[in-house]
Amino acid sequence: MKKLGFGLMRLPQLDAADPKSIDIEQVKKMVDIFMEKGFTYFDTAWMYHGFASEKAVKEVLVDRYPRESYTLATKLHAMFLKTPEDMDEIFNAQLENTGVEYFDYYLLHGLIKGSYGKMEKYDAFSWAMDKKEKGLVKSVGISFHDNAALLDEILTKHPEIEFVQIQLNYLDWDSEWIQSRKCYEVCEKHGKPVVVMEPVKGGTLASVPEQAEELLKAAEPDLSIPSWAVRFAASLDNVMMVLSGMSSLEQMQDNVSYMEEFQPLTDEENELCFKVAEIINSQIAVPCTACSYCTDGCPKQIPIPQYFSLYNELMREDLEQKGWTASFNSYNYLAKKSAKASECIGCGQCEAMCPQHLQIVELLKDVAERFENN
């Protein structure tokens, strides 16, 4: 199985402000390219694209290709569970949404300390293994967003888990919060293959500072900047799959071009990635990956990831010299369609969901100060 997986969390949209407005025709073309090049792994989840991703899977993949020609992963997140019975209700809806009779990979989704406690309370691990025994799931795993110590605890208590999905990229390799390396090493210790999410950190590693880009282009002039991030993750021995949340035909074509006949990075190339990480870390303001977990329950429907992206762009600009940038127009456009950053009521639900453990409420105050007082 080739190591590139199609992550269905950042699909192209007809309306940037409406996550449900998936550009189905473009995604069909992307799926066709992916399949023609021999890639087979598709990753979705109950909540992606405003709960529209799984239904899109049926239209772009399941209705168009034989079931044995691809593998499909989806997930169950604790935030949607109010009673143990909700697990069956959601699972049955997922089968209906996607149009399949079984899932190749099924994950207990986004485990952190709090959600892990709920999964234990509802006996979700045994529930998932029961689905496997009944032939409705072929392989049971977890996706994880906490520290290595908790991951070690979970895998020690639940050796039945067959694989682990973690955030892993060269920027987060030694991060105090994400702990990519430490979590990867825990998976190795327990003999669990790794599925990588966020290899490009929500696009952060696709558009790097000019100094970093010059280093990468000097080493490999013909390869794209994001290719370094995907190949870094895929080069690790215990990684079985690297998910890329592709949102355009161009991204798909680029990814398959270097992953079709994948060559692992050399030691020297790995070191170059870490040099780039040092440059990026010295400039990034908000390490948001635009996963949008924070937005689903936002009572004010604030487009948090988009605002953080604009804020990061703005912080890289020389405002004293320019005085104004296009980021201000983009912010005003979004604010008219949804809500301003200053409209945050500080409820904190976004922070409870954030895989990056960001202090979103305070950061939105920074965003408002920059964009609304100029």
φ and ψ at residue 147, rounded to 5 degrees? -85, 165
- Judged by phi (left if over 0) then psi (alpha if -120 to 50, else beta), residue 344 lies in beta
Question: For the residues 140-148, what does the mean pLDDT come to?
Answer: 95
pLDDT, one tens digit per residue, over 52-103 is: 999 999 999 999 999 999 999 999 999 999 999 999 999 999 999 999 999 9
- Tokens 């990588």 map to which residue? 196
φ and ψ at residue 206, rounded to 5 degrees? -95, -25
- d(C-alpha 83, C-alpha 56), whole Å: 27
Percent of the chain with pLDDT over 90: 80
- d(C-alpha 36, C-alpha 39), whole Å: 7
- d(C-alpha 286, C-alpha 204), whole Å: 10
- d(C-alpha 187, C-alpha 159), whole Å: 11
Which of the residue ranges 43-47, 174-178, 233-237, 356-360 would you say has the lowest mean pLDDT? 174-178
- d(C-alpha 291, C-alpha 113), whole Å: 19
Integer CA distances (angstroms), 146 to 3, 111, 165, in order: 24, 7, 12
Please say if the pLDDT value at position 142 is more than 80: yes
Contact 56, 49 (CB under 8 A): yes
- d(C-alpha 356, C-alpha 344), whole Å: 19
- d(C-alpha 358, C-alpha 51), whole Å: 24
Torsion of CA 171, 177, 181, 184, to 10 degrees: -120
Cα 233 from chain centroid (whole Å): 14
Question: For the residues 332-341, what does the mean pLDDT come to?
Answer: 90
- pLDDT for the residue numbered 259: 98
H helix runs in 80-195, sequence order? 85-98, 113-121, 124-133, 148-157, 180-189
Question: For the residues 268-292, what does the mean pLDDT come to?
Answer: 91
Please say if the pLDDT value at position 316 is more than 90: no
Sorting pLDDT into bands at 50, 70 and 90, what band is 322?
very low
Please say if the pLDDT value at position 374 is more than 80: no
Which of the residue ranges 55-59, 286-290, 327-331, 351-355 would you say has the lowest mean pLDDT? 327-331
pLDDT, one tens digit per residue, over 157-191 is: 999 999 999 999 999 999 877 899 999 999 999 99
